[in-house]
Structure 1
Amino acid sequence: MFKGAFAIWRRDMLVLRRSILSELVAVVAYPLTIYLAFGIGMKGYIGLVDGVPYSMFIAPGLITMTAVNAAYSESTWSLWFHRKVQFTIESYRVTPISVSEIVIAKILSGFSHGLVKGLAVGLVIFAITPFRFSPTHLLAYLAFLIPGSALFSCAGVICGTVMDKPETIGKVEAVFIMPLIFMSGLFFPLSSYPANVISWIRVLPTTALFEGARQTLVSGGFPLASALQVAITALLAFVAAVWIFRLKMSE
């Protein structure tokens, strides 16, 4: 049933394998710079945050941010490039690959990119910091990372489908994606928000993603409501991505 999806996924993984070293160097540099600037540079001015050292507070968020950003970027630029430059999408019209399979393939590719790059950042943070967590927390963490990556991949599919200019894609990431991530308590606790704002911030699926992922890694807890919020939002994003992509392919 998903033979076409796995074929596209394998193709994307071959492309990643050819450029894995340069990809990892580029992707590790950004979160590592942020960690050095905030986690180490500010730790003398910031005490405990939610009961843990500040460097430990931001570490899970940086790993998660790397993974979901990679999922978004891979889906967006890969789909745009195949649609506008290589015209690979046109070849799908004469194959038995369904629209759903194409979107599923991009979700799998996005998650694979995110997993590899998130792991690379996690290993670097492990090597230079005292941040540690129990291996038993990983399963609960994946319950957030998998739908979170799917959510960002679907957002990337939608952007790569409807946007024709690469500069527009860059603006969307700068104006919408990154603010949503930073507003979700990546660098500060949600309690810092005014009381009349925090309820709106908690509605954001990115808040449920980053807060839930942090709790699973640091304390081993599992906020079920947050996990369901991320999963439901990812499912709705998948339906929207399939619908929009189908409309585009029918033009």
Structure 2
Amino acid sequence: MRFNGHGVWAIYRFEMARSLRTLWQSLVTPVITTSLYFVVFGGAIGSRMTEVDGVPYGAFIVPGLIMLSLFTQSIFNASFGIYFPKFTGTIYEILSAPVSSLEIVLAYVGAAATKSAVLGLIILATAALFVPLHILHPFWMLAFLILISTTFALFGFIIGVWAQNFEQLQLVPMLIVTPLTFLGGAFYSIEMLPEGWRTVALFNPVVYLISGFRWAFYGVGDVSVQASLLATLGFFFACLAAVGWIFKTGYRLKN
């Protein structure tokens, strides 16, 4: 079967247009939330904790703030994007259209990853209004940004297929991803933890994602950048394999 670029573009454009219709929720709300984080964490805690690993505390939390929004928005955009056709029944029209499973994933995941990456850059620009920023490795910053957006969009796609109601869409992001992010060094270095808790923290996969992204900014991280990259790629391929299994078996898509 030839690659159906028109089909991919049609789904992708529809998903992007949906975000424009909810511009306040998609962009403005996360920016306001980021500003509040800087007021609370940067102002209240930053006045008592001036530097972490040689980086001013206000600048240190920027990668963690971006990752916090990136994780939740990637999951939400992708999960809602595929769940809504299931909810309305239009998923059967998509499955019967001359669009392959790969093309469906490209469209939905691509749109979700695009929205999340743009949001990450907007939060980065917002952060620059509060603290001076210097990105040591801009190429790797963009690489981690795109890879993590795509990976969590794939993860969100899986959640959207699995979910059977709107409450389940929020279950994994609220009860698993957000707590792991706060415990994963988003606002502190795990080196500040007692030795026992530091060992426990290394079993949190989010630590590796945030650490790699922070290394791209300041050249410092809780783990090596190689470990961060391997962990991110491992999660990406695991999600890709799960999506492939979903389309192969028709799990909660065709039944």
TM, length-normalised to structure 1: 0.89
1:55 maps to what in 2? Answer: 58
SS of residue matched to 1:97: coil
More displaced stretch, 110-119 vs 3-12:
3-12
Is 1:247 the counterpart of 2:251? The answer is yes
Q: Cα distance, 1:200 vs. partner?
A: 4.0
Contact 2:46 2:58 in 1 (8 A): yes
Retained in 1: the 8 A contact 2:75–2:155? yes
1:178 alignment counterpart: 178
Across the aligned residues of Structure 1 and Structure 2, the Cα RMSD in angstroms comes to 2.1
Aligned to 1:98: 100
Following the alignment from structure 2 to structure 1, what is the Cα–Cα distance between the partners of residues 116 and 193? 29
Residue 195 of structure 1 and its aligned partner are, at CA, apart by: 2.5
Farther off after superposition, 181-190 or 29-38: 29-38
Q: Are 2:33 and 1:30 equivalent residues in the alignment?
A: yes
Match of 1:115 among 107, 114, 117: 117
Deviates more, 1:203-212 or 1:70-79: 203-212
Partners of 1:71 and 1:109 within 8 A in 2: no
Partner of 1:81: 84
The normalised TM-score by structure 2 is 0.88
CA contact (8 A) 1:137 1:220 kept: no
Identity %: 27
Contact in 1 for aligned 2:161/2:253 (Cα 8 Å): no
Deviations 1:58-77 (A, max 9, x none): 01211222223211110111
How do 1:134-173 residues align onto structure 2 when only pairs under 5 Å count?
134=135, 137-173=137-173
Name stretches of at least 5 consecutive residues in structure 1 with no aligned partner.
none
What is the CA distance between 1:2 and its match in structure 2? 5.6
Q: Specify whether residues 160 and 219 from structure 1 end up closer, same or farther in structure 2 by C-alpha distance, changes over 3 A only.
A: same
Contact 2:134 2:218 in 1 (8 A): yes
One-letter code aligned to 2:71:
V
Residue among 46, 63, 68 paired with 1:65: 68
Single out whichever of 217-226 and 178-187 deviates more from structure 2: 217-226
Rounded to whole Å, the distance in 2 between the matches of 1:184 and 1:22 is 26
Other-structure match for 2:134: 133
Q: Give 3-state SS (helix, strand or coil) of 1:248's partner.
A: coil
1:44 matched residue in structure 2:
47
Structure 1 residue 172 displacement after superposition:
2.2
C-alpha contact (below 8 Å) 2:71/2:177 kept by paired residues: no
Distance 1:74 1:22 in 2: 11
For 2:203 and 2:150, the matched residues in 1 are separated by: 18
CA contact (8 A) 2:184 2:207 kept: yes
Moved over 6 A (4+): none
Inter-CA distance 44–210: structure 2 relative to 1 (3 Å threshold): same
How many angstroms does 1:114 deviate by?
A: 0.7
Corresponding letter in the other structure for 2:86: R
Question: Which digits, 9 at most, give the CA deviation of each residue in 1:1-23, with x for residues without a partner?
Answer: 26233332122112223333552
Q: Secondary structure at the match of 2:128?
A: helix
SS in 2 for 1:250: coil
Give the aligned length.
248
Alignment partners' CA distance in 1, 2:98 and 2:199: 46
What letter is aligned with 1:131? P
Alpha-carbon distance between aligned partners in 2 of 1:230 and 1:35, rounded to the nearest angstrom: 27
Q: Distance in 1 between matches of 2:227 and 2:213?
A: 12
How far off its partner does 1:140 sit?
A: 0.6
CA distance in 1, matches of 2:204, 2:239: 14
Conservation of the 8 A alpha-carbon contact between 1:151 and 1:237: yes
